[in-house]
Amino acid sequence: MSNFKWCHGPSCHKDKTQDRVRGSKGSKVLRTRKIKQQTERSWYRPNDFMNYFCSVGCYNNFAHKHIERIVAIAPRNTPLETPIEDPIKETNETNYGHRYTSTHIKLKGVDTQAE
């Protein structure tokens, strides 16, 4: 049983690496990489984008090529908001005398907005 997917990178088959070379002498090609689906492993996640791409570069190439269609899946025409308590500013000083300010932000209540 073959348990793999082909990389979805639109130019995966154009990267000049030895592992992509396939075919017999005189009719060699650069072929899209296979991604083994290690479904029997405990760490396997079905929705991981790396199940579909051999590298982050191929994932980026895919996203750049199809970005309009990707965002059309879940368009965001208004911003989302997360209710928070009033932020608390705190001035700190290191042992070397350097002073810096940090802001503590605490979420308010339960987030009821969809992702």
**C-alpha to C-alpha distance for 115 and 107, rounded to whole angstroms:** 16
CB of 34 vs Zn ion, minimal distance in Å: 10
Return phi, psi of residue 82, to 5°.
-120, 120
Interacting residue with Zn ion among 1, 3, 5, 7 (CB under 5 A): 7
Residues 45-64 that bind Zn ion (CB under 5 A): 54, 58
Asked if 33 contacts 7 with a C-beta cutoff of 8 angstroms, the reply is yes
| Residue numbers 76-95 binding Zn ion by CB under 5 A | none
Q: Is 35 an interacting residue with respect to Zn ion (CB under 5 A)?
A: no
Amino acid found at 27: S
CA dihedral 49, 55, 58, 63 (to 10 degrees): 40
Asked if 12 is part of the footprint of Zn ion (rule: CB under 5 A), the reply reads yes
Three-class SS of residue 15? coil
Which residue stretch of 16-24, 27-35, 79-87, 89-97 sits at the interface with Zn ion (rule: CB under 5 A)? 27-35
Q: How far is the CB of 22 from Zn ion (least distance, A)?
A: 14
Binding site for Zn ion (CB under 5 A): 7, 9, 12, 33, 54, 58
